[in-house]
C-alpha cells in the first residue's frame, strides 16, 4: 500500500500516519506493507518517524518521481490559495503490482481503517 501525503509533521498528515501506525500489526497480519510517500527530505522523515514512533517506511521523494508517476502532484486550493502539491491519496496494490483500490477522497480520521477493511 502506498499512502501519498502532503507534508511531515502537519496536523492532518500526522493524524493519518499515526492511524496507520496504530493499525500496523493488523496490516502486517494480512500481509500488507505500508509505504508513506511525500516530497519531504530523508531528515524530515526521520524526525517524523521518531517523534511519533511510526512503524512503517517513509519514502522521501523530493524530486517527485514517484509522486508524479502516481499522478498525485496536482493543483490544490487551500484557504483560497491555489498551488501545486501532493493530493492526499492511498493506493492498495496487490503482490503483482496491480492497483486494486484508490482512495483519493481521503478523510484522515478514517483512511487507515477504511484501507484495512479493503485488504482481504
What is the number of structural domains in the chain? 1
Query: 111-118 vs 11-22: helix axis angle to the nearest 10?
Result: 40
The backbone torsions φ and ψ at residue 66, rounded to the nearest 5 degrees and listed phi first, read -70, -40
Contacts of 35 (CB under 8 A, 6+ apart): 1, 2, 3, 56, 57, 58, 59
- Give 51-87 pLDDT, tens digit per residue: 999 999 999 999 999 999 999 999 988 888 999 999 9
Q: What are 2-30's pLDDT values in tens digits?
A: 999 999 999 999 999 999 999 999 999 99
Is 13 one of the catalytic residues? yes
Name the residue range of residue 19's domain: 2-118
Given the residues 1, 13, 32, 58, select the one marked as catalytic.
13
Task: Work out the number of other CB atoms within 10 angstroms of the CB of residue 25.
Answer: 10
d(C-alpha 26, C-alpha 102), whole Å: 20
Q: Identify how many contiguous H helices and E strands the chain contains and give both numbers.
A: 5, 7
- Looking up residue 113, the CATH number of its domain turns out to be 3.40.30.10
Amino acid at each position: 500500500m502506498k499512502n501519498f501525503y502532503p507534508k511531515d509533521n502537519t496536523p492532518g498528515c500526522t493524524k493519518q500516519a499515526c492511524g496507520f501506525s496504530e493499525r500496523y500489526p493488523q496490516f502486517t497480519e494480512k500481509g500488507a506493507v505500508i509505504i508513506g510517500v511525500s516530497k519531504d527530505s530523508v531528515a524530515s522523515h526521520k524526525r517524523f518517524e521518531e517523534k511519533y514512533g511510526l512503524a512503517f517506511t517513509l519514502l522521501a521523494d523530493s524530486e517527485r518521481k514517484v509522486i508524479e508517476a502516481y499522478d498525485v502532484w496536482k493543483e490544490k486550493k487551500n484557504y483560497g490559495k491555489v498551488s501545486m502539491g501532493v493530493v492526499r491519496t492511498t493506493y492498495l496494490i496487490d503482490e503483482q503490482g496491480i492497483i486494486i483500490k484508490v482512495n483519493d477522497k481521503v478523510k484522515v480520521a478514517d483512511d487507515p481503517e477504511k484501507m484495512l477493511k479493503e485488504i482481504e
